[in-house]
Amino acid sequence: MSAPLEGKRTLVTGASRGIGRGIAVAFARAGADVALGYRRDQSAADEVIAEIEGLGRKAVALAADVRDLDAMRALVQGSVDALGGLDVVVANAGVASRFQPLHEVDPGYWQRVIDVDLGGVFNTLHAALPVLREQRSGVILSISSVAADACGANGAPYNAAKAGVNALTQTVARENAELGIRANVIAPGFIATDMGEALLEAHGELILKSIPLGRAGTPQDIGELAVYLASEAGAWISGQVFRIDGGALGASARRVV
């Protein structure tokens, strides 16, 4: 039996670490070739390439800032050139927000978070959609957060940006369904990554105690869901937000992520 993504050409932004790396490696394990978008950490990207090539799949790393639409167009074209096409696009790159009440948030910092976490998804999808629309097929996955629903105090820039990602991706799903393009959102809860360490510093064990399944999520957990949604097993799924948080959002009235 073939792997669920056998022969698929995939692009993952923010793929040099954390959730993006988890998705990229999961795609390779599922049979896909992977273009890795990263901003500045070439050595980390090279490590992911080596891991993917060790699985027998093709990988290429391409540097681009998701805030720059022209750079994202070049990233998409570079991915098409390197892989021979593009079937799956994952808009994952993002930054965390400082823990501040809204009235203390510097407007410039607000704009930076919005530009990366929401604008970066817009730029990724804007650059990739012409390719997918021309071939009348493809899968888009945007990485959001349960923060879009939890709306925890002191995280306004991040919460607002991720809520925008949900709405943007669901809109794209409806606009492109008739062309055979599916678009969904993965909205993780607390994941054990470098970014997650900031949450642990701010909230300590309170976060882990709020997760009914008793542990933090891993990039591999997110990768497995991404594989399912990108594969034929998810062929009738589009315009949905998949919250993956160990049961935390529905189980607790006290929101910390």
For 219-239, the pLDDT digits (tens) are: 999 999 999 999 999 999 999
Q: Which residue has the higher pLDDT, 98 or 127?
A: 127
The active-site residue out of 38, 109, 158, 228 is 158
Based on the residue annotation, tell me whether 158 is a catalytic residue of this protein: yes
Is 212 part of any domain? no
Is 28 part of any domain? yes
**Looking at residue 237, which CATH number applies to its domain?**
3.40.50.720
Is 248 part of any domain? no
Is residue 255 pLDDT above 70, yes or no? Answer: no
pTM, two decimal places:
0.94
Q: How many CB atoms lie within 10 A of CB 43?
A: 7
Q: What is the number of domains present in the chain?
A: 1
Q: Could you read off the pLDDT of 148-181 as tens digits, one per residue? A: 999 999 999 999 999 999 999 999 999 999 999 9
Contacts of 140 (CB under 8 A, 6+ apart): 88, 89, 90, 91, 125, 128, 132, 169, 172, 173, 181, 182, 183, 184
Domain that holds residue 46: 9-191+218-242
End-to-end CA distance of the chain: 40
Is residue 254 pLDDT above 50, yes or no? Answer: no
Is 211 part of any domain? no
Which string of DSSP letters, residue by residue, matches 19-37?
A: HHHHHHHHHHHTT-EEEEE
